[in-house]
């Protein structure tokens, strides 16, 4: 219902397929940055940045698989 099911599954499953220090850059919906920051606080991940789009809205994130 919050549009973040993909990220929940990705956070849980992707580390098995990624090299250590691999980085993920992903776009997200308007207003989802706080929820995503919480999700990427999970073990095995480090949220490195939340970046804004050209209109100044938080729009994509950079996370590292640790």
Q: Check if the beta carbon of residue 43 is closer than 8 Å to that of residue 35.
A: no
Q: How confident is the model at residue 50 (pLDDT cuts 50, 70, 90)?
A: very high
| Phi, then psi, of 56 in degrees rounded to 5 | 90, 10
Distance CA 10, CA 37 (A): 14
* Mean per-residue pLDDT over the chain, rounded: 92
Determine the pLDDT at residue 20: 87
Structure tokens at 57: 């809205």
Distance CA 6, CA 36 (A): 11
Q: In this predicted model, what pLDDT tens digit does every residue of 2-15 receive, in sequence order?
A: 889 999 999 999 99
Mapped onto helix, strand or coil, the DSSP state of residue 49 is: strand
The model carries a pTM of 0.81
């Amino acid at each position: 219902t919050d549009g973040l099911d993909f990220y929940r599954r990705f956070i849980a499953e992707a580390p098995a397929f990624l090299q250590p220090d691999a980085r993920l850059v992903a776009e997200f919906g308007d207003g989802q940055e706080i929820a995503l920051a919480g999700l990427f606080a999970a073990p095995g991940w480090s949220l490195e940045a939340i970046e804004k789009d050209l209109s100044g809205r938080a729009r994509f994130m950079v996370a590292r698989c640790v």
